[in-house]
Amino acid sequence: MSNEFPGWHGTTIVAVKKGGEVVIAGDGQVSLGQTVIKGTARKVRRISPGGYDVLVGFAGSTADAFALLERLEAKLEATPGQLQRASVELAKDWRTDKYLQKLEAMLIVTDGDQIYVITGAGDVLEPEHNCTAIGSGGNFALAAARGMMDSDRTAEQIARDSMAIAADICVYTNGKLTVESISK
């Protein structure tokens, strides 16, 4: 057994685009090792740099995610209305800046039109199938969301139902959700 600090685990974030709306849902569980530290964390946020609404969901270290949110806001203020450009600029900084390279988080961002997953490896990924997910239960939520995309469910119903499935499977995910939506 390692003597290292156990680290923060958990989080499931899912984004679903359907019917002219994008919904991001995130669970509220924060775990330290095998212990639940908090069950009602808010991991989905709306930011509005320069009056331009963007939804952000984050997985990983909370402090790291907030550092990235601040950087993303600055990039969006410098390039108003250009989410893709701001996301690419953030990913470039994240990959090349020695301070940012140590940050352990992932982001899903949307302006209601585009959805991107931004990683510390320099990735800005635009998901296929109008849904994506990150975090420890992300694969479960993504599989569930993709399976529901052709149903009559709304984007919000798909996001909520896929999060419920992930919470039933992943021990680092709970059912206390933060759900935000945005339309373009």
Length of the chain: 184
The candidate with the shortest Cα–Cα distance to 58, out of 73, 44, 71, is 44
CB 135, CB 1: distance < 8 Å:
no
Q: 120 Cβ partners below 8 Å, 6+ apart?
A: 94, 95, 100, 101, 103, 104, 105, 106
Phi, psi (deg, nearest 5) at residue 4: -70, 155
**DSSP-based three-state secondary structure for 160:** helix
Residues 172/11, Cβ–Cβ less than 8 Å: yes
Per the structure block, which two tokens stand in for 15? 């984004």
Residue 167 is assigned to a ligand binding site: yes
Residues with a catalytic annotation lie at: 11
Cα(170)–Cα(29) distance, integer angstroms:
11
Q: Is 170 marked within a binding site?
A: yes
Is 35 known to sit in a ligand binding site? no
Known binding positions for Na(+): 167, 170, 173
Annotated binding site: 167, 170, 173
